[in-house]
């Protein structure tokens, strides 16, 4: 077989580990040929590819980012997009595509499957917001980076008697905020799942300080929203998939907290730091297992499926189930973190 592979959407640690695993088993075991498409679906629209081999994918396991490049291109944004994707596949003699991506990339993969393209999906995102899989790779690494940052902010917060606001990515799900806040001992975690009340936050911070604490750590997910009408927020630009660009809530919170409590506050926006660098051991293992399962599925000619982690097993599920619904933070998990709020 000839297998095409692409990485779409925001990059995350572990993408290269999937690429390596697919090539290792695809070429090394099945004797398939693997070709990489550059910058997500854009590579298939524009016909931009690169050969992938055992040789060219050597040493990729610990490397962050993606050697294929990525973009948020949506072929269904233009009338001839899907036809151009199919034309490229026909030109290159590609039998099946392994698409590594999040909700948007896999949503396109599922639509293309409906249009006759043979696709297998691999779920990735630091946001961990894909239903049908317990975890996506990239998430664990992002949580570790955020936790390390929170640990560091604790010591400087303590020295200066400050309230530190830490903004983390995660889009419209609070997984990174909840996990890193729990692991880092945050005094407050704000997530998109529950609109926050700025008055209540300030009351809690004041109460904590009156009880003897001289600093507080507030972790806020970039997608967190205030209760309607309580605080104004800026809105950002939208991408090809209609998603608004998030980021900046931490700044607003820092100003509000400082003004309302009288305590000095500072904001740290972790942003793309959470997506950079080498994947954790855990993410390397899931990414590798996902890559192997994906090439096995393609070899079995089982398409319109994605690989997924369920418990400790890697399984295949219909692609549709992976993109049907946003996976938001489990309330019981959040309640555990909330026991430690100020």
The residue among 176, 99, 229, 211 whose CA lies nearest residue 337 is 176
Does 246 interact with ligand F6P (rule: CB under 6 A)? yes
Q: What is the 3-state secondary structure (H, E, C) of 28-51?
A: HCCCCEEEEECCCHHHHHHCCEEE
Does 42 interact with ligand F6P (rule: CB under 6 A)? no
Give the interface segment with ligand F6P, choosing from 24-32, 119-127, 200-208, 255-263 (CB under 6 A). Answer: 119-127
Least distance in Å: CB of 272 to ligand F6P? 6
Does 127 interact with ligand F6P (rule: CB under 6 A)? yes
The residue among 222, 213, 212 whose CA lies nearest residue 177 is 222
Out of 24, 63, 171, 327, the only residue in the binding site for ligand F6P (CB under 6 A) is 171
CB 78 within 8 A of CB 41: no
Give the interface segment with ligand F6P, choosing from 48-56, 124-132, 187-195, 302-310 (CB under 6 A). Answer: 124-132
Cβ-based nearer residue to ligand F6P, 8 or 291: 8
How many residues touch ligand F6P under the rule CB under 6 A: the total is 11
Does 121 interact with ligand F6P (rule: CB under 6 A)? no
> C-alpha distances in angstroms, 119 versus 8, 63, 115?
14, 25, 11
Out of 169, 188, 297, 319, the only residue in the binding site for ligand F6P (CB under 6 A) is 169
CB 195 within 8 A of CB 161: no
Strand order in the sheet with 265-269: 188-190, 216-221, 163-168, 265-269
The question of whether 127 is a catalytic residue gets the answer yes
Q: Which of 11, 127, 129, 283 is catalytic?
A: 127
Give the interface segment with ligand F6P, choosing from 110-118, 150-158, 165-173, 298-306 (CB under 6 A). Answer: 165-173
What is d(CA 151, CA 176) in angstroms, rounded to the nearest whole number? Answer: 15
Cβ-based nearer residue to ligand F6P, 299 or 328: 328
Least distance in Å: CB of 137 to ligand F6P? 13
Token pair, residue 114, equals 């409906």
Does 125 interact with ligand F6P (rule: CB under 6 A)? yes
Tally Cβ neighbours within 10 Å of residue 240.
Answer: 17
As a whole number of Å, the CA-based R_g of the chain is 22
State whether residue 119 is helix, strand or coil.
Answer: strand
Interface with ligand F6P in residues 288-327 (CB under 6 A): none
Interface with ligand F6P (CB under 6 A): 10, 102, 125-127, 169-171, 222, 246, 275
Q: Which residues are catalytic?
A: 127
């Amino acid at each position: 077989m000839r297998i095409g592979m692409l990485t779409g959407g925001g990059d995350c640690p572990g993408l290269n580990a999937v690429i390596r695993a697919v090539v290792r088993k695809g070429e090394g075991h099945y004797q398939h040929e693997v070709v990489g498409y550059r910058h997500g679906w854009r590579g298939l629209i524009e016909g931009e590819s690169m050969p992938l081999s055992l040789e060219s994918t050597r040493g990729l396991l610990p490397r962050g980012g993606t050697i294929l490049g990525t973009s948020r291109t949506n072929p269904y944004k233009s009338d001839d997009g899907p036809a151009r994707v199919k034309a490229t596949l026909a030109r290159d003699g590609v039998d099946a595509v392994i698409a590594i991506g999040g909700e948007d990339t896999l949503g396109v993969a599922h639509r293309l499957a409906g249009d006759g393209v043979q696709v297998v999906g691999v779920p990735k995102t630091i946001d961990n917001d894909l239903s049908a899989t317990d975890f996506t790779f990239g998430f664990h690494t992002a949580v570790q980076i955020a936790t390390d940052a929170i640990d560091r902010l604790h010591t400087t917060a303590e020295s200066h008697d400050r309230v530190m606001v830490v903004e983390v990515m995660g889009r419209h799900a609070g997984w990174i905020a909840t996990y890193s806040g729990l692991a880092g001992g945050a005094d407050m975690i704000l997530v998109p799942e529950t609109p926050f009340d700025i008055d209540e936050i300030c009351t809690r911070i004041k109460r904590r300080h009156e009880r003897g604490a001289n600093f507080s750590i507030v972790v806020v997910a970039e997608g967190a929203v205030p209760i309607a009408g309580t605080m104004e927020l800026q809105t950002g630009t939208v991408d090809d998939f209609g998603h608004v660009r998030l980021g900046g809530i931490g700044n607003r919170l820092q100003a509000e907290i400082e003004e309302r409590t009288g305590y000095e506050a500072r904001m740290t926006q972790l942003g793309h730091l959470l997506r950079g660098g080498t994947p954790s051991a855990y993410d390397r293992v899931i990414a590798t297992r996902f890559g192997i399962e994906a090439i096995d599925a393609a070899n079995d000619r089982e398409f319109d499926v994605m690989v997924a982690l369920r418990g400790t097993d890697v399984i295949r599920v219909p692609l549709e189930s992976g993109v049907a619904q946003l996976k938001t933070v489990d309330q019981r998990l959040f309640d555990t973190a909330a026991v430690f709020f100020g």
